[in-house]
Structure 1
Amino acid sequence: MTGCSHSVQPESLVSLPNTQVISPVHIEPQQKVIKKIDDSNSEQKSESAAVINNVKKDGLKVALTFDDGPDEKYTPLILDILKKEQVKATFFVVGEHAKEHPKMLKRVVDEGHVIGNHSWDHANLSEATADKIESEIVSTDDMIKQITGVTPTLFRAPYGAVSPQVLNASMKSGHQVIGWSVDTLDWDGKSVPQILNNVRKEVGPGAIILQHFAGGKHGKLGNTVEALPQIISYLRQKGYTLVTVPELLAAN
C-alpha cells in the first residue's frame, strides 16, 4: 500500500452537476474517476452537491488537509512542523494504517487536529458495491473511535472518486464529503518548488489544500515535509489564516 500511487482505470471525465469545481484526482497518471451523473436525475444532483471542494466565503481562510496516513516516518515530521508553526490541520485516515500505527493516530488527535475518514484500504469506491462502500467507511470509523475516542464526521473518497453510491453511504453514516480545490501533487514526487507553485497558482479564499502524510510514489514524501513550512509561510504572507475543515465550514 503506497497511498495514492497505484493505477485505476479512468471513467467518464465529466464535472458533477451543481458542485464547485472538482480538482484533478490524485491517481497515477493523475486521472479523474468521477462517475458520470445524469443531469436529469434530481436526486443524484442533490447528492453531488454534497461534495465540498472549497468554501466560497468572505475572508482569507484556507484549510490544510493530509491524506493516507498515519505512518511512523512522515506523520511525526509533519506533526512537528504543524506544532512549531501553531497550525491545526485535517487528516484523512486510512483504516488499516490506523490499525498499524495507533499511537501515531492518537498523537494527531492529542495535538488538536481533526480526523476524517479516508476508507479502510484506499480502494476505488466508485467501482465498489454499496455493501463494500459501507463496510469501508464503518470499519474505519470504528477503528478510529477505538483508538482515539473520536468518531469522524468527514469523509474523503480515495482518489476523490465519487459516485451516487459513495455519496449515499457517506451521508447515511453521518459524514460530510470533502474534496479539495488545491492539489499539491506532492504524492507524485514533485520537487519542492513544484509543490509550492501548485499552491500559489491554485489557492484562493476558502481553499482546501491536499497533501499527504503517508504513502506517495515509492513511499517517498520528503518533499512534502520540506515544502510544508514554506507553504505555511507563503499563505501567511498573503494574509491567509490556516484553519481546519470544520472551522472553514463553520465560517461560511
Structure 2
Amino acid sequence: MLLIVVILTAIGCSGKPGTNTPELANQQEPAVPSPDPTPEVVTPNVPDVTTTPAPTEPEPEPENPLNNEPIAQNYHMTSNYYIKPNDENDNKKVVLLTFDDGPKEEKMLTDLLDILDKHNAKAIFFVNGYRIKQNPELLKLIHDRGQIIGNHAWDHINLKKENAEKIDQQISDVQTIVKELTGELPVFFRPPFGAANDEVRAKVKEAGMLFMTWSNGSLDWADNVRKPQGVIDSVMEQLAPGSNILMHEVAWTVEALDALLTKIEEQGYSFIDPRVIELEAR
C-alpha cells in the first residue's frame, strides 16, 4: 500500500519538460532608454554686415607732354640742314638741339633732361637700338619727359658700307622697338657718322622720316674738346640762325649744357620744338 502511494505521488509531480518556463519567443527585452535628443541649434537672424570693397580705380598714367593737339609745322629744313621758317616774317633766330648715341646712363640723362626743362627747351635724342635694348627704361624716360626720339640706326656703323638688307634691318628694328616702348614711331633719322647713300635716304623716306645730319657740330667727340669749355666755345663759334646743333650724351657736354644754353639765349636765340619742322626738306 505504501508503495502504491509513493508511485502515485511521483506521477502527480511530474509533467512535460518546460511547461512551467515561459517561451523565449514571447519574452520581451527590457527597454533601453533613448539618449536625449540633440538640441536644435537656432542661428540668430543677424543682418549681413559683410561689405564688398569698392573697386579700385587704376592709377592714371603720367601725362605725356607730347600728347597734345597737333602742332602746326611752320618751319622746314634746308638741304644743308639748317632750320628755316616757312614765313619769312617768323622768327629766324632759332636753333635745333640734338643729342646722339644714347640712351646711356640714368644720372647723366636725368641731369640733361633737367637742364632742358630749366630752359624750356625741346631736343631730338637720336638713339641706337642696341642701347635701347640695354636701357629700355631710359628710352621711356626721354619720352615721358616730353622730349623727341629720333632713329640713329641699331648699331653705330657706317651704313654706306652695308647692303640693302642690312640697311633695312638697321633702320626698321629701331622703329619697331621705339614703337613697342613708347607707342610712337620716330619721324627723324640721323645716320651714324653722318654717312649715308641713296639706299639709306630712300629707306628713311619710305619709313616716313626726315633725314638729317647737322650744321653745327659741337666737336664734343674730339680729343681736344672733351671738356665743358671746349664744347661751349665750339658751338658758339658756329652759331647762326637755324643752327642744327649736334651734341652727344657724354659727361662733359652735360656739364657744359646749362651755361651753353644760357649763352645761346643771351644772343637772342630760342630753341625750336622739333615737332614744328616739316618732314620734307626744301
TM-score (norm 1): 0.73
1:41-60 CA distances to partner (integer Å, 9 max, x unpaired)? Answer: xxxxxxxx986521244521
Q: Distance in 1 between matches of 2:164 and 2:213?
A: 20
Tell me, yes or no, if structure 1 residue 55 matches structure 2 residue 83. Answer: yes
Question: Aligned pairs, how many?
Answer: 196
In the alignment, does 2:126 pair up with 1:92?
Answer: yes
- In structure 2, the CA distance between the partners of 1:249 and 1:241, relative to structure 1 (3 Å rule), is farther
Q: Is the 8 A contact 2:83 2:94 kept in 1?
A: no
Task: Name the CA shift for 1:126/1:50 in 2 (closer, same or farther; >3 Å).
Answer: farther
5+ residue gaps, structure 1: 1-48, 214-220
Match in the other structure for 2:173: 139
CA apart distance, 1:81: 1.5
Tell me by how many angstroms 1:162 deviates: 1.3
Question: After the TM superposition, which residues 1-252 of structure 1 pair with which residues of structure 2 at under 5 Å, given as runs?
Answer: 53-57=81-85, 58=88, 59-73=92-106, 74-189=108-223, 190=225, 191-213=227-249, 221-249=250-278
Between 1 and 2, higher relative CO (CA 8 Å, sep ≥ 6) is seen in: 1
Which amino acid in the other structure matches residue 104 of structure 1?
L
* Cα separation, 2, equivalents of 1:50 and 1:239: 22
RMSD over aligned Cα atoms? 2.0
Q: Which residue of 2 aligns with 1:45?
A: none
Structure 2 CA distance for partners of 1:80 and 1:197, relative to 1, 3 Å: same
Q: Distance in 2 between matches of 1:156 and 1:229?
A: 24
What is the TM-score with the length of structure 2 in the denominator? 0.65
Q: Distance in 2 between matches of 1:71 and 1:178?
A: 22
Consecutive unaligned residues in structure 2, runs of 5 or more: 1-76
Classify the secondary structure of the residue corresponding to 2:111: helix
Matched-pair contact (CA < 8 Å) for 1:91–1:116: yes
Q: Secondary structure at the match of 2:172?
A: helix
Distance, in Å, in 2 between the alignment partners of 1:244 and 1:180 is: 16
- TM-superposed CA distance for 1:113, in Å, is 0.8
- Specify the SS of the correspondent of 2:121: coil
Q: Offset of 1:246 from its aligned partner?
A: 3.2
Q: 1: distance between equivalents of 2:165 and 2:275?
A: 28
Q: For the pair shown, which has the larger CA radius of gyration, 1 or 2?
A: 2
What CA distance in whole angstroms lies between the structure 1 residues aligned with 2:95 and 2:78? 19
Q: What secondary structure, in the 3-state scheme, does the structure 1 residue paired with 2:97 have?
A: strand
**Is the CA contact 1:63–1:248 (under 8 Å) kept in the aligned structure 2?**
no
Aligned identity (percent) is: 35
User: Structure 1 pair 226/118, CA: closer, same or farther in 2 (3 Å)?
Assistant: same
